[in-house]
Each structure stands twice: as structure tokens, then as C-alpha cells.
Amino acid sequence: MSNEMNWMRRKFLQVSSLLGAGVLLGDAASAQHEHHQAPKTDKKNGKTAAPERDHQQALRQAKQPPGGNAPVITPDLPKLEYKMENGVKVFNLTAEVVECELMPKTHMGSARKMNAWGYNGSVPGPMIEVNEGDRVRVVFTNKLPEPTTIHWHGLEIPIEMDGTPYISQPMVEPGGMFIYEFTVNQNGTFFYHSHGAMQEMMGMIGLFVIHPKVPHTPRVDKDYAFVLQEWALLPNNNTPNTLAMEFNWLTMNGKAAPATTPLIIKQGERVRIRLVNLGMDHHPIHLHGAQFYVTGTEGGRIPESAWYPGNTVLVGVAQARDVEFEAKYVGDWMLHCHLPHHMMNQMVSMVGPMMMSHGSGLQTGKGMEEGMGIVRQGNALSEDLGPGFGRGMGMTTEEKNVSNALGAQSGELYACPMHPEVASDKPGKCPKCGMALVKKQLSGVALTEAEKKKAPGYPQDMMMIVDDDVAKPETYGLAPGWTASMMGMMTLVRVLPEDKYNDVMARVKAGKTERPPSTPEHKHGG
Ligand SMILES: [Cu+2]
């Protein structure tokens, strides 16, 4: 009994001291927050819209190299600004509901929007980038409808700052605040996240990158970071189903390919890519066209003697992996999770690739049995056993063709043996070297529709071409139809020769997107 009393008393003191340190300091910090980074809030529904992804972001970041290290570039994701106050880097972080867009509206369908939970109007949250030895203060506000905390994953900091509910701190109630403050004595790729499993699956994670005091060698020219996430979005429903065990939308920094923004690299540059995973699945991330070395984990830098080569790195749940390579070979190289279902959009059972709408909706909160795929009744083609969403969510969907690429490539292709970029649908000579063009591909119409249908499983029907709809300066010069092979947890590493690199970077700087003249203008992200 007296033990229990002691525990209660200790707990009370602990909580009240934390309240004193964190929650009650709110006013000044709150005013500063409003001034500092006011997210755009839609007064009608109280949701905060994700900030317009700025194509010049990478360039702005490049102007502020911290500690002599190459600044970290987070395509499609903002970086959290800070203010210096008496030698402390002060960040303001607000947990809130964020309406984000996995894919913009295309001519194939409406935008895929999602009501996720994130930080400062962003899912995942904005990157926090600091230097080893920094004193960091994060003024945290909770605008969610339920309590939360922030855990600093992998950081060796005092227990009071660890963000484990009740164990190290009281929950931060809706409308409440908490001040996290610590010195960072490590370096590497870390992250912050809510310490509630369901909140994590609603999107509550962000990158926390710490640069070393002395840059690692060999120095990298470009340093990128990605958060890998997965979402279960039921048809006609924009709220992630956190109970799901199967996921139909896979994102890198909050975007599903082909809406991910390609990495623009000059041939010869040394590149680091940091990958962080906090979901239900491990992701084997594969890079085309270059061998890399795994140079870091969630525990920081790996000694060079222990680096190992590869082209696929398994980024397990709650892990970080850094890979580095020299961009020797020109090309638009894919970087993607190699789980087959993670290189697709909307790929769950037979819902169908990228299908945007259905005749009838399905609410979240179906029974546990349906959600877990436990069959209760029915025959082989019943609602339970037939093609359905997830592991049999008790809902069937008629299979239908959604492709706009099937049979789109009719005719023949002729290319120059010396200049692979020269291609023509007619025989002729290369304008660059005068060599005769060689037939590379036969017509794709050799089989009749009737003949095709004899093959079991036809059509797989995975291709959708939406080049114009996702065009941005970084996609300039990609091969027509490139979006047909870009889906899910995927992006492009574009290694360009110097002249093309300069051209694309100038377009990025100018925010200039060139679309074919036939394309009707439309606003992205709207
Ligand atoms: Cu994956």
C-alpha cells in the first residue's frame, strides 16, 4: 500500500514538474508559432491543407549548407525552419489533421486525397535538420482531437524527453503544448514520430537528420532523404484505415509515383540517399543503374571497412538506411521498393490498378473478422471469398480495364546504334551521325484481341500514361509514356550530362513546366 502511495506521489511530482516545464510555457511560444509558420487552415472544415510543394525548395535549401555538409534535399517535403534563441535552435511543431494529395487529378480520374495526421500541414512532417552538438528546442502544440506525444527515434537524450506516454511524460492533450529540449550528440539519419501505433499509421512521422561535426568522406554532392509510408484507403473513403494489414497506396515523402519528384543529378556527382521506414512492411529499395554502398543505419555512420555493396537495401520497420554511390552512368534510373505490390497504386486483391471510384462506398470500421480476412460464410465466389478489397473486406468489385496504354504503341521503332536518344517511327538516318537507323521494336499489334484473350489471366492491365498531368520542371525531357511504369513507392534518379543537368536545373529554378501544346492547362494541387 505504501509502495503504491509512493509511486503515486512520485508520478504526481513528475507530471507536475513536466507540466511546469512544458505545458504552462505555452503563451509566448504559441504567439511565436502563429507568426512563424502559420499553416493554411480551411475555416469551413478545420482541416489544414498541405502546403503547395515548391519546386524551388531544393534550390533554397542548397543556399544554406549547415556545418560544411551538403544540405539534405527532401523532394516533395518541406524543411522546418528554426530561430536561434540564446544559442538554442528553436523549432515549432504542430500535430494536426492534414488533407494531403497522393496523386493529382489526371485525365484518368480525380485526385487521390487523404485526411491523414501530420505536422505543420505536412505528411510526413517537415524535416528537422541540425548539426551534431546543437542544442535543440521543439515547441510542440497538439491540434489533434486526441492526446499525443513525440518520440525522438534513436536519439540518446534524457528520459524526460523520450516522448513515451505516461512512462516519460504526460500525454499532450488536444490544445496542449509540450517543450522538448535536448542536445544532440550523435549524427546520422533519425526520425521523430508519435508514440501511438495508430497515430503512426495515420502518418505521424518526420525526418530528423543530424550532420556530423566533420563531414564524412568521401564528401557527397547531393544528399537526399525519404520517408517510406503505406496507406490503406478504402474506395470512396479518404481516411487511412489503421486496422488494415494490406496497403493500396505506397508513398515516398507523401507522394505516390508518378507524382513523386525526380532527383536531378549531374553525371559524376556522389550521391547519398537516406531512407526511413515506419509502417507495417519492410521495403527492399532497389536502385537501377548503379551499385551503392550501405553507409549508415538508424544508428548513424557505418565504418567504411564495414560498408557493403548492393543495389537493393532492405529498409525494415523503424530502421533507417543510408546508401551512397557515384552517379557514373547517364539515364533516368528508377529507385523503388521491389515488393511487387508496392510498385503499384491501388493494388489490393482485385480492386484494380489506380481505380479511382466505385459505384458504392465502404466505410471504415468494418468488423474485425472481415478486416482480418476471416471467412464466415459463402461459396468460392461469394463476397467473402471472391475478389475483394484487402484480405476480403466483404466487398467485391467488378474487374474492369483502366489502362490507357494497352495497344497504345502500334507501329515500329527505329533507333540510332550510336545515339540511343534518337528514335523514329520510320526508317531513316541519324541527324547526329548520319548512320542508318536500325529497327528496334516490331509493331505491338501482332496478336488480335481474340488471340490475346486466350492467355489465362489476361489482361493484367497495369499501365496508365498520365505524363501531362504530373509534369513538373524535374520531369522535363523524360521519355514519352514514362508514367506508365511509375507507380507506388517509386521515384526517378535522373543522372544527366552537364548540359542537360543545367537545362533542367534552370527550369526548376524558374518553376517552368513545359507541357505539349495539346494539353489543357490546369492547376496542380487544387
Ligand atoms: Cu515496399
Q: Note the pLDDT of residue 244.
A: 79
Determine the distance separating the centroid of ligand 1 and the alpha carbon of 316, expressed in angstroms. Answer: 10
> How are beta strands 490-496 and 263-266 bridged, if at all?
parallel
Answering whether pTM is above 0.85, one says no
In the predicted structure, residue 78 carries a pLDDT above the cut 60: yes
Higher pLDDT: 352 or 486? It is 486
Nearest one of 182, 201, 205, 183 to 193, comparing CA atoms: 205
Determine the distance separating the centroid of ligand 1 and the alpha carbon of 204, expressed in angstroms. Answer: 18
CA distance 189 to 301: 9
Q: Note the pLDDT of residue 453.
A: 77
Higher pLDDT: 374 or 221? It is 221
Domain ranges of the chain: 3-342
Q: Note the pLDDT of residue 464.
A: 79
Quote the percentage of the chain above a pLDDT of 70.
70
Do 77 and 253 meet the contact criterion of CB atoms below 8 Å apart?
yes
Nearest one of 92, 107, 43 to 465, comparing CA atoms: 107
In the predicted structure, residue 432 carries a pLDDT above the cut 90: no
Do 318 and 452 meet the contact criterion of CB atoms below 8 Å apart?
no
- Cell numbers 474485425 correspond to what residue? 368
In the predicted structure, residue 218 carries a pLDDT above the cut 80: yes
- Cell numbers 556522389 correspond to what residue? 270
Q: Note the pLDDT of residue 223.
A: 98
Higher pLDDT: 516 or 111? It is 111
pLDDT-based confidence at residue 67 (cuts at 50, 70, 90):
low
Q: Which residues surround ligand 1, an ion (CB under 5 A)?
A: 283, 337, 339, 342
Alpha helices in 22-103 (DSSP H): 26-36, 57-62
299-327 tens-digit pLDDT: 999 999 999 999 999 999 999 999 999 99
Determine the distance separating the centroid of ligand 1 and the alpha carbon of 232, expressed in angstroms. Answer: 14
End-to-end CA distance of the chain: 61
Determine the distance separating the centroid of ligand 1 and the alpha carbon of 88, expressed in angstroms. Answer: 38
In the predicted structure, residue 341 carries a pLDDT above the cut 70: yes
> What is the mean pLDDT of the segment spanning 352-374?
42
Residues 6+ apart with CB under 8 A from 420: none
Determine the distance separating the centroid of ligand 1 and the alpha carbon of 337, expressed in angstroms. Answer: 5
In the predicted structure, residue 505 carries a pLDDT above the cut 70: yes
64-74 burial, b at 16+ Cβ within 10 Å, e below that, comes to eebbebbbbbb
Determine the distance separating the centroid of ligand 1 and the alpha carbon of 57, expressed in angstroms. Answer: 27
Higher pLDDT: 517 or 437? It is 437
Determine the distance separating the centroid of ligand 1 and the alpha carbon of 489, expressed in angstroms. Answer: 7
Assigned CATH topology for domain 3-342: Immunoglobulin-like (2.60.40)
In the predicted structure, residue 28 carries a pLDDT above the cut 50: no
260-272 burial, b at 16+ Cβ within 10 Å, e below that, comes to bbbbbbbbebbbb
